[in-house]
Chains A and B, each alone.
Chain A
Amino acid sequence: MSADDHRSATPPRASATFDEYAIAEIHRAAATGIYDIRGFGAKRKLPHFDDLLFLGASISRYPLEGYRERCGTDVTLGSRYAKKPITLQIPITIAGMSFGSLSAPAKEALGRGASIAGTSTTTGDGGMTEEERLHSKTLVYQVLPSRYGMEPDQLRKADAIEVVVGQGAKPGGGGMLLGQKISKRVAEMRTLPEGIDQRSPCRHPDWTGPDDLEIKINELREITDWEKPIYVKVGAARPYYDTALAVKSGADVVVLDGMQGGTAATQEVFIEHVGIPTLAAIRPAVQALIDLDMHRKVQLIVSGGIRNGADVAKALALGADAVSIGTAALIALGDNDPRYEAEYRKLGTTAGSYDDWHEGRDPAGITTQDPELTKRLDPVAAGRRLANYLAVLTLEAQTIARACGKSHLHNLEPEDLVALTVESAAMAQVPLAGTSWIPGK
């Protein structure tokens, strides 16, 4: 071969449109005839908190001493109507995840970790387990469209109630728990035959629309003698209107879950193509609260893609009262741990990418009901890991808040932030770094 021949050879060129994932998915779809189902949240690159920076203090702002001056982290939820609002030591809660999607030791570990850290956990489809109530100092009880496991005694045992309208991974979608995870105990809790593929509906069975929701919330308050804070959780889609309608319906707290928020099992096409990013959702929701004179009166909890203390601080600076974590909490327990790499390989994946949580074969013993696999998770040790992680999130958020001169995390504000991209500046409504320009303003 001459030198000229070598230069004329064209290297293989991959299509940016038909990339390796698109081609593999077409092959998979053609082979199986069914859409892909998986856990986790949106994996595509999205505008996110990484696109924001804090300015920090300088001549025009005083910082606080990192190891001497206090930076408060507590948050009170439910002060609008509840006789017994709850106060958490940190503004980072554990999102709703069911026993069924998670193993019993995983639920126990979430309760243990959250209780050490002074925050709350949340039930999920299927109701409340005894272990969960025992190990969670503060427990939020979800009222879901399926009402699987829903019992008034559990409602009364809870510290707060969360009416789930939707979640960020699938706004407008219901749930699914495949037969592999419908063990005898899970089936009994949900009044279903053992081993079937359980479908959770997307709409509540006894109310439709905001006028009904207001009456439903009133019923829940009457049943619990107006003691419990009542949250309304929505998937981020139309956050201004959904927040306004939740407030109108009488919510004490609005939980807003962006599309990076996790799910136990949903269609890939749903996870990646329905809903909006967390970053894009916060400001419209806060604006709705401001317009109704309800900011800080109805609390806003934001979830979906919270990973570190900077994310916490940014969500709070944009106007949230607290954040919630689900995926990150599972990772803290041990999900996607590289020590199980050999087993992840057998499942056709790798540590860090494992998302087939619905199949019930989790090597870490978290998203499974397999008795042998669940034994691998020590709830005490895993709870400690979660508590450590929550402590780090809090310390990191405090570090940033002090650098911005704030004596409480809630004193962070949009003025502390700038954006790295035009898109994130427009979504977060903060100036592009180095300018005073906010797109659209």
Chain B
Amino acid sequence: MTQASPIARVPRNSALDLAEMSLREVNQLLHDNSVGDFLIRNPRGAHALACGLDGDLNVTIDGHVGYYCAGMNKRAHVTVNGNAGTGLAENMMSGFVHVKGDASQSAGATGCGGLLVIDGNASARCGIALRGLDIVVKGSVGHMSAFMAQAGTIVVLGDAGDALGDSLYEAKLFVRGAVKSLGADCVQKAVRDEHKAALRKLLDAAGVGGDVDVAEFRRYGSARQLYHFHVDNAGQY
């Protein structure tokens, strides 16, 4: 049974226009509401838009956003009909963030929970220091993605750049395309049935479950050789 994708949830009943309201007014309004559907127009690359949300909110942003969109999100569903700047959904705790375009560097950085879906590509350091958030990138990710990632899962339908998973802790990485190089202590691992099941669940949640064969993915994880500092490993750091 496939999991219903949260992408289907796009009702809206309040329009907020950043051409007429300040960023502060928009964010304050979103903070003051624990439920509701909001459409934000004219974001024009605004930074820190819809950050710090904590409620059963559906927020749709029509246009491109700047840094830290949906930063530290809790529970809310945020959809960006455009591209996103640096630090998209950084330190996200729960909920769902969906960017229909590309995302700049450090997407999902230190994220703790929930699901982040990027329809396009994500730049360098996607999922850096990840702590439990699941990320699905339908395009490719840049260099140093999953650097020091501690927990959570990153699924890349395209390719991964240099040094994927450098100094990785316990996060799980799945890549369908080519990996330019692996970072220190990151190794390819066998894909078992439990991994396929988890992968399928995430692809379903990202709305591409029916289009993608989980058998095409390779799994990467930590070799756990750098968990205890030893002088013989000094060259690895």
Tell me the A residues contacting B by CB distance below 8 Å: 32-34, 146-147, 150-153, 155, 176, 178-179, 190-193, 196-197, 199, 201, 205-207, 212, 215-216, 218-219, 222-226
Contacts and interface: CB of A to CB of B under 8 A. Distances in A.
Contacts of B118: none
A223 B132 contact: no
13 contacts: A32-B231, A147-B129, A147-B131, A150-B110, A152-B54, A153-B54, A176-B229, A191-B112, A197-B229, A206-B87, A206-B106, A206-B110, A219-B48
Contact of B106 (A155, A197, A205): A205
Contacts of B87: 206-207, 216, 219
B91 A199 contact: no
User: SS class of chain A's interface: helix, strand, loop or mixed?
Assistant: loop
A179 B230 CA distance: 12
Interface string B81-125: 000001100110100000000000010011010000000000001
Contact of B31 (A155, A179, A197, A225): A225
B27 interface: yes
A223 B67 contact: no
A201 B91 contact: no
A223 B129 contact: no
Contacts of B142: none
Contacts of B227: 193, 196-197
A219 B71 contact: yes
B228 interface: yes
Contact of A151 (B67, B112, B150): B112
Nearest to A201: B148
B169 A152 contact: no
Nearest to B228: A197
Contact of B48 (A146, A179, A201, A222): A222
B217 interface: no
Contacts of B153: none
A190 B148 CA distance: 13
A422 B62 CA distance: 64
B235 to A, nearest CB: 13
A226 B52 CA distance: 12
Contact of B91 (A33, A150, A197): A150
B58 interface: no
B71 A223 contact: yes
Given A215-B47, A222-B23, A225-B28, A193 B93 contact: no
Contacts of B169: 192-193, 196
Interface residues of B, number: 41
B228 A179 contact: yes
Nearest to B92: A152
B51 interface: yes
Contacts of A222: 23-24, 27, 48, 51-52
B165 interface: no
In the complex, the 4 A-B pairs of residues with the closest C-beta atoms, listed nearest first: A223-B52, A206-B87, A152-B72, A219-B48
Given A196-B228, A201-B148, A215 B66 contact: yes
A197 B226 CA distance: 9
Given A192-B169, A222-B51, A146 B129 contact: yes
A356 to B, nearest CB: 15
A32 B229 CA distance: 13
A191 B132 contact: yes
A31 to B, nearest CB: 12
Contact of A216 (B23, B68, B167): B68
Contacts of B54: 152-153
B210 to A, nearest CB: 33
- The listed residue with most A CB atoms (<10 A of its CB), out of B68, B86, B170, is B68
A152 B91 contact: yes
Given A147-B110, A155-B72, 20 more contacts: A32-B231, A147-B131, A152-B54, A152-B93, A153-B54, A153-B74, A191-B131, A199-B167, A201-B148, A205-B128, A206-B86, A206-B87, A215-B47, A215-B48, A215-B68, A216-B68, A218-B48, A222-B52, A224-B52, A225-B31
A152 B112 CA distance: 11
B209 to A, nearest CB: 28
B112 A219 contact: no
A150 B132 CA distance: 13
A176 B228 CA distance: 11
Contact of A34 (B52, B71, B231): B231
B109 A212 contact: no
A192 B150 contact: yes
A153 B54 CA distance: 9
Contact of A201 (B27, B51, B129, B131): B129
B70 to A, nearest CB: 11
A147 B91 contact: yes
- The listed residue with most A CB atoms (<10 A of its CB), out of B54, B66, B110, is B110
